[in-house]
Structure 1
Amino acid sequence: MAERTEPRIILHPHSRRVRILAGDTLIADTRNAIELRETGYPHRHYIPKEDVDMAKLSISSTVTHCPFKGDSTYYSLLDIDDVAWSYERPIDEMQAIAGRLAFDADKVTELAE
């Protein structure tokens, strides 16, 4: 009998409130996040752009590729480089996170209820 393995990435709708702060500055506030759980990585909340203060962010020159999600675009916040990233055109299996932003928990404070 074949051993059943968990998928590498699992997406979970997250309807509880998620806020992102840089110091005392609120950057994002949503009740419409998607929690992405990827083997070997911390869980990440992907937040819709309409719930992010995009005026505070600027696109950085950093671009990365993940074979399981696709190509990412990074964003900086004032003096915090690459504070967030987004998959604008992810692979087919990850379309639910298209255009949403995830934040680097080492660079900002994430408050999830």
Structure 2
Amino acid sequence: MSNPSPGLKRDPGHAITITPYPGTVTVKFGEVVVASTRNALELKEATYPPVLYVPFADIYFEHLLASDTKTRCPFKGEASYWSVTGQGEGEPDVMWTYAHPYDEVARIKDHGAFYPHKVTIDAG
């Protein structure tokens, strides 16, 4: 079933590219590693900074808890959020995912992206 992006109908010049990230990506909350992969995807969208998406298989969900937060992007779809706990502390909504992304960005399904101001992202 097709799930085209309604945003691209209004703004077909809005560029989104998704490519394999060539290095290793490690995400930490304090000293707790919450994700580590050599299979990240790099999403570049219009004038926004690039975002790294980590495959679910390389995310340590035992440190994450689904939150009630949802947002909608006209170019990617509805995002769900996850909070992190670790070292006796927590931080809300550190990761977002698209369970049913629009066709144009289908590659980010089953991947999570993290806010760099809430966790440490080492990409090399």
Question: Does the TM-score normalized on the shorter chain lie above 0.5?
Answer: yes
CA shift digits 1:84-108 (9 cap, x unpaired): 0000100011110002000000000
Counterpart Cα distance in 2 of 1:32 and 1:7: 26
Aligned pair count reads 109
Structure 1 residue matching 2:28: 3-state secondary structure: strand
User: Per-residue deviation at 1:7?
Assistant: 4.8
Identity, in percent, stands at 39
Deviates more, 1:103-112 or 1:38-47: 38-47
Counterpart Cα distance in 2 of 1:15 and 1:98: 19
User: Per-residue deviation at 1:42?
Assistant: 1.8
1:89–1:99 Cα contact (<8 Å) kept: no
- Give the gaps of 5 or more residues in structure 1: none
From 71, 88, 97, give the equivalent of 1:86: 97
CA shift digits 1:26-72 (9 cap, x unpaired): 11100000000112322111000110101110110100000100001
Hey, what does 2:31 align to over in structure 1? 24
Counterpart Cα distance in 2 of 1:111 and 1:6: 31
- The two structures have a TM-score, normalised by structure 1, of 0.91
Hey, what does 1:33 align to over in structure 2? 40
Greater RCO (Cα-Cα under 8 Å, separation 6 or more):
2
User: Per-residue deviation at 1:9?
Assistant: 1.1
Hey, what does 1:56 align to over in structure 2? 63
Hey, what does 2:79 align to over in structure 1? 72
- Give the gaps of 5 or more residues in structure 2: 1-11
Hey, what does 2:15 align to over in structure 1? 8
